[in-house]
Amino acid sequence: MPHLHIEEFKQIDFPQVCDDVSFNFIASNANHNDEKLISTTVDNEDFFLLIREEENRSLLKTDKLTRPASIYNVHRALLAYAKAADLHVINSNVPETQKNIHLQEVRALKKIEYFANEFPLAKEVRIEVGFGSGRHLLHQVAKNPDVLFIGIEIHRPSIEQVLKQSVIQKLDNLLVLDYDARLFMELVPSNIVGAIYVHFPVPWDKKPHRRVISTSFIQEARRVLKVGGTLELRTDSEKYYAYSYETFIAFNRTTLQINKNKDIAISSKYEDRWKKMEKNIYDVTMINDEFSDTLTMEGDFIFSKPKLNFEKILRLHNKTFRFEGGFIHFERTYKIQDGIMLRLSMGSFDRPEHLYMIINEEGAIYYPELPLKSRSNLKAHKELNKVLHG
């Protein structure tokens, strides 16, 4: 992750613009004086820079919850703040270079709002979850020009590599998203997807709740898939294969195809390595047999003005509120110039959303963006409104 180690953090006057980077305000952790967040805007991307005080030095990096789609914009923001505050940089992994020429032409990278506002429906859709090196995804995109592929990945170097290749190969039927695939599935319209690929997901043997394949993910997959559409799991983990098979087969009606060491047209570099090691590869393919009801969601993310005063809201730090099917957890509280800011996790237990909200004399808003409009988030928002009213 891009970062600067600095001798001492210095605060600038807010708001301020330096090298076309806007620094809007600063938020100080109300319970730990070693952490601050700086609201930053670069090329219409809003995110926070994180300052962490360490022994004899400070760390300046991007906040992982709000990090922007472009690593280049993170680089610009870090260097601009160091310049504006005249920081003494001890060491850095931030290059002072121009943006890659191919990334300057990228149109494939989208934010979640693009899909939430108006999901693209002009072509059949196929989704790859965790595309890694992108070899399989790029092969499928090039082979099927009449299909729209959506690649979902959270590893930034992998994202940028695929974006560069999409420009080099002039692929116009690919969209890329950096987001939790489990949440993304909740806003995909019903009966439009031809295939979902989950190739070599992280097994998460010690944290099974983080696995992509789960009862809820399969339920959403069955809803979004066309009749005859497929959900394809490919894994080298015997434990993940056994767990996934049990999860698939637990449904009252399901059609599965099981393969072991099946050859496919294109494989990842990791799969090539595992085959040389004579490691087994397992495929579980679910074929959707049912037409689903149209996806409908009602509600919004507007707050009524909180009745709790600032002091009581600050005391919500580390509190958890549970309701049927979900929860709200107040992870951190921050003080800002004209109010307070909260960092929350909320929604369903197995796929929560992490986000910030600001509360001042005018009311409450989510910042820098709204939660994903999913059933679980809309329900959590209603409960959050109740909490803030005491």
pLDDT in tens, 177-205: 998 899 899 889 999 999 999 999 999 88
Number of domains the chain is built from: 3
Identify whether residues 370 and 265 lie together within a single domain.
no
Tokens of 100: 């890659």
Q: Which of 67, 92, 117 represents a domain boundary (last residue)?
A: 92
CATH number at 185 reads 3.40.50.150
Identify whether residues 61 and 195 lie together within a single domain.
no
Is 334 contained in some domain?
yes
pLDDT value of residue 375: 85
Q: Each residue of 39-97: pLDDT tens digit? A: 999 998 999 999 999 888 999 999 999 987 678 899 999 999 999 999 999 999 988 76
Identify whether residues 161 and 283 lie together within a single domain.
yes
Is 98 contained in some domain?
no
Identify whether residues 249 and 136 lie together within a single domain.
yes
Is 304 contained in some domain?
no
Is 136 contained in some domain?
yes
Tell me the pLDDT of the chain (390 aa) as tens digits.
889 999 999 999 999 999 999 999 999 999 999 999 999 999 989 999 999 998 889 999 999 999 876 788 999 999 999 999 999 999 999 887 665 655 555 688 898 888 988 899 989 999 999 999 899 999 999 999 999 999 999 888 899 899 999 989 999 999 999 988 998 998 899 999 999 999 999 998 888 888 999 999 999 999 999 999 999 999 999 999 999 999 999 999 999 999 999 888 887 777 788 778 888 999 999 999 999 999 888 899 999 999 999 999 999 999 999 999 899 999 999 999 999 999 999 998 878 999 999 999 999 999 999 998 888 899 999 999 999 998
Is 301 contained in some domain?
no
For strands 57-62 and 45-54, give the pairing: antiparallel
Q: Which of 92, 115, 145 represents a domain boundary (last residue)?
A: 92
Q: Which of 63, 92, 121 represents a domain boundary (last residue)?
A: 92
**Domain range for 200:** 103-287
Identify whether residues 115 and 260 lie together within a single domain.
yes
Identify whether residues 317 and 367 lie together within a single domain.
yes
